Amino acid sequence: MSERARHHTFPEETIGEQAYRLVAELYPLCRSITGDGVRQSLDILARRIPLAVREVPSGTPVFDWTVPQEWNIRDAYVRNSRGEKVIDFRQSNLHVLNYSTPVRATMPLAELKKHLFTLPGQPDLIPYKTSYYRRNWGFCLSHRQLQSLEDGDYEVVIDATLADGYLTYGEVYLPGETEDEILLSCHICHPSLCNDNLSGVSVLTLLAEQLAAAPRRHSYRFLFIPGTIGAITWLAQHAAAVSRIHHGLVVSGIGDRGGLTYKKSRQGNATVDRAVAYLLGRSGLRHEIVDFTPYGYDERQYCSPGFNLPVGRLSRTPFGSYPEYHTSADNLDFVTPVALGEAWATLRDILQLLDGDGKFINLNPYCEPQLGKRGLYDSIGDNELAMLWVLNLSDGEHSLLDIAERSGVEFGALREAAELLCRHALLKRLDG
């Protein structure tokens, strides 16, 4: 069966709708790099997957960083002299500068404007802004809304706390036949943004749910972490586990209507890089493959020179290159069930390839073995060529992916051939 055919045997409409519903359920919550919004989001995920919630105290040193204080917000608004709320956190959690320090004050418009953030070039949208590591407070609003504000005094309230607490993240570990791990990571730190945040969260949740119920050769580790500081914290506290990571993917921005974009690992030619390129090249899907840069999402932490892990990133339209990015337009209308389902199926296919890849040794390497007397000719359709390629290149040096790239025979056919040859004692797997 071809990669493309297998890609369509799963009802993607169903998985896409499930992923979209999960995005919609998480969308109203105000998340940040710490706080109760993250905990509430993880509670929702834990209904579907065996999620362990980890908490790391504020002040914990993690390499060159320190786990910050915990931020929680209850309410925030700006009220004019007539008592009208002209900016209201309860209408959109993007209205508050994320990680704002608490404030209760009355001030003139000129003073208030120093703490207002807009997008003049996109006058109807609310921007998403943060102040994680520099103390500040502020409000985000549309530029048209700013222009409508009248001179006068304004009551300003941000009912928030910034105090010692914890950095919270979620982790799913699914043990396999081997301790060799495949890492899948997404960030869970943004408030109401559907593509940049929740698309990756929802797709990886459903992927973890499916894998938890399936046989696995590799072990799988899913991380639902705050961006940057979450990956740094996990890496700092799991040095022993890092050596077991053989493949990895950061998943983000996977729900828009653009084609798929794969960003290679720092290594550039890791097995995961080759596997994604191989599958996307045969998928018929719109896609682009780009080289590694030390700018982006958490792949830059996993691929930092001290670790140099084989971790790439799968997304759709690259971050920062679509007008909805980090604005109120990244809403439930911007992501689609079709895109989410297609992303899920693509990731499933990548993981199936990585899990099924490996090196074998031909146990009868002197000339071709007689396949006919073993009933192997025509045993699985047109797989004779696949068997011959596997037998010829299974010298302990070539993996199935190597053979697929060289022969042009589809990986799935080679894997089926290898399994059949192993059953007939003509082949032996070298890596467990």
* Confidence (pLDDT) at 9: 40
Are residues 143 and 198 both part of a single domain?
no
Are residues 278 and 317 both part of a single domain?
yes
Final residue before a domain boundary, out of 105, 131, 163: 163
Are residues 196 and 142 both part of a single domain?
no
Q: What is the pLDDT of residues 237-282, one digit of tens each?
A: 998 889 999 999 999 999 999 999 999 999 999 999 999 999 999 9
How far is C-alpha 267 from the chain's CA centre? 19
The tokens of 155 are what?
A: 């009551």
Are residues 62 and 96 both part of a single domain?
no
Are residues 344 and 376 both part of a single domain?
no
Q: What is the CATH number of the domain that holds 372?
A: 1.10.10.10
Q: What is the pLDDT of residues 206-233, one digit of tens each?
A: 999 999 999 999 999 999 999 999 999 9
Give the domain range for residue 129.
Answer: 70-163
CA angle 266-241-401, nearest 5°?
A: 50
* Confidence (pLDDT) at 432: 55
Q: What is the CATH number of the domain that holds 134?
A: 3.50.30.90
Are residues 291 and 184 both part of a single domain?
yes
* Confidence (pLDDT) at 374: 87
Distance in angstroms (rounded) separating the CA atoms of residues 115 and 250: 34
Are residues 21 and 103 both part of a single domain?
no
Are residues 102 and 181 both part of a single domain?
no
Q: Cβ neighbours of residue 241 under 8 Å, at least 6 residues apart?
A: 181, 221
The tokens of 322 are what?
A: 């679509």
Are residues 131 and 212 both part of a single domain?
no
Final residue before a domain boundary, out of 356, 384, 419: 356
Query: What is the signed CA dihedral for 350, 355, 359, 360, rounded to 10 degrees?
Result: -120
* Confidence (pLDDT) at 373: 87
Are residues 316 and 212 both part of a single domain?
yes
Which candidate, 5, 19, 6, places its Cα nearest to that of 335? 19
CA angle 44-76-147, nearest 5°?
A: 120
* Confidence (pLDDT) at 379: 52
Are residues 201 and 330 both part of a single domain?
yes
Say how many domains are in the chain. Answer: 3
Are residues 83 and 95 both part of a single domain?
yes
Final residue before a domain boundary, out of 163, 198, 233: 163
Residues of the chain with pLDDT under 70: 1-13, 378-382, 432
Q: What is the CATH number of the domain that holds 285?
A: 3.40.630.10
Q: Cβ neighbours of residue 425 under 8 Å, at least 6 residues apart?
A: 363
